[in-house]
Amino acid sequence: MTEPTSHQPSDSIGRIELSNLKLQDYEALLQAMKAAYPDWPGGFWTLATMKRLIDKFPEGQFVIKADGKVVGSALAIIVQYSHFGDSHTYKQITDNYTFDTHDPNGDVLYGVDVFIHPDYRGLRLGRRLYDARKDLCERLNLKAIVFGGRIPNYHKFVDEMSPRDYIRKVKLREIYDPVLTFQLANDFHVKKVLRAYMPEDEESQEFACLLQWDNVYYESKHRTVTGRKDYARVGLIQWQMRSYSGLDEMFEQIEYFIDAVSAYKSDFALLPELFNAPLLASYNHLSEAMAMRELAEYTSEIVDRFHKMAMSYNVNIITGSMPELVDGTLYNVGYICHRGGNTERYVKLHITPDETKFWGIKGGDIIRTFDTDAGRIGVLICYDV
């Protein structure tokens, strides 16, 4: 699994979808695999193998699509880990790639494969796949996620250091490894070094790191299989008003907070009402009403930037409110930019007397709810509450 930072996400992507893998996705999946592993000396997963895996454990196979195109996948099985222990090979844990080791009553989610098409790295799609695995591990009440992680840059240092020293330097960020660096950033820890884990992996010199993520919610005597999360994490952004020279400078500040909220794996990032008000400073020579209408000219581009940021940082962004001019009428509106790519609008209903007096803002007349990947939500602004 690699997710290097040298590639920039495409601004043309309109929608990202995460779902369970279907057999009809295979041909597109194969092309993404070949692009992700251009120098892989072994073979690729066959249609028959994928059918066997999906038949055995459909909810454990994830695929991620950008505008309908398969660009990545995560495959897994459940094993009774005590049957294998920490010293095993990839061939053993998969029973010679048949996945007959899959045990619905097992206690560990074992990662079989994860990859992202190189043209789509930089969008944190790998993190989405890993978050989906973690959610599955929690829902199925499994102890941990375990797998053998490649160290594909080790061949460059094999004459200089042992695998142990290499791992230590990667942890200290003295060496970058496209797989291990990514795994460590996603809260996995190295349990041990595996020898001859995957003999065809020449880049890793046949070594692998046994990596593990522990499910802190695991209950040894209670098994819960529910369809969705029963909680949501919301990042509330306390916004200090400061002067900005323009949109670019304002979004530097916004991105700082979105990045922090995303790092805490929040489902939502919430900005305040009229967060873009400092941009009014450019229109001090105008009346309050005219200045607010000039500010409304920014709204379309602001929403477009939030839309891209929501997908890139894998967090649903509730944009806070902005003025928006519709057919000559000024409204106080906000948007929900879903991390999957769609965008929905909400309008402030109850306008304060000063909003009407100084800016000429009119209230909306529809209250609604919104379905998100973390549950159904409603959004109200200020006086609406």
Q: Which residues are catalytic, by number?
A: 273, 348, 382
Beta strands in the chain (DSSP E): 16-20, 62-66, 69-79, 108-116, 144-149, 189-194, 208-214, 234-236, 268-270, 316-326, 329-337, 343-347, 361-362, 369-372, 375-378
Residue 383's Cβ-count burial label (10 Å; 0-12, 13-18, 19+) is middle
Q: How would DSSP label each residue in 301-324?
A: HHHHHHHHHHHHHT-EEEEEEEEE
Contact between 78 and 113 under an 8 Å Cβ cutoff? The reply is no
Q: Among positive and negative, which fits the CA dihedral 172, 173, 175, 176?
A: positive
How many angstroms separate the CA atoms of 88 and 147, rounded?
10
Residue 82's Cβ-count burial label (10 Å; 0-12, 13-18, 19+) is exposed
**Which amino acid, one-letter code, is at 26?**
Y
Residue 150 phi/psi, 5-degree rounding, is -70, 160
Over the Cα atoms of the chain, what is R_g?
A: 24
Q: Which two tokens stand for residue 253?
A: 């500040």
Polymer length of the chain: 385
Using alpha carbons only, give the angle 252, 254, 258 rounded to the nearest 5 degrees.
115
Using alpha carbons only, give the angle 213, 219, 223 rounded to the nearest 5 degrees.
105
Strands 361-362 and 16-20, by their bridges, are: unpaired
Q: How far is CA 17 from CA 58, 63, 125, in A?
A: 17, 8, 10
